[in-house]
Structure 1
């Protein structure tokens, strides 16, 4: 399970500071976000864009029939990924390739295996 990731914003998103963090100096201010926050309407779309980009960077191809399925084939070694929200099922015919991919994911995201 991927527990933390950055979501880069392409559009301007502003927010007021949550009341529990507000002081008399900042309670009437708004802040421009540089990263998406969990719960924003942009978050699921940004998460998907980021995840797909990371998979493609590692050589995976997204299935045209099932957009949650990604495959990578190299030298008769196959890895398949199935994504459901923030969980990923990883399978393949070469444990070393799977371990290399999981190391790559750990470098990109804070994951729990």
Structure 2
């Protein structure tokens, strides 16, 4: 009899730990109105990528860039070693890749991922 309540307790404790994507200090998976996330990669093949995320929050100035970056639950900036690592991370958190397109920005192509 004790195994069922213990199992339910363990499942209840692990459920809040899953599906957490922080942009700055905001867990966007907890926001009911967020359906889409636009991500932009900053970095190159010599350094880990930093991901800037836009879920409809007010625009971030250069001083506030940390508020727009993917972070862990402690507010530390997450760094990724490839774009596929970012997509796999978001997929594991319940996000689905919808679209990628390119725009011209300051004389270079810019990839946009939704």
Normalising TM by the smaller chain, what interval? Answer: under 0.3
Higher CA-based Rg: 1
TM-score by length of 2: 0.24
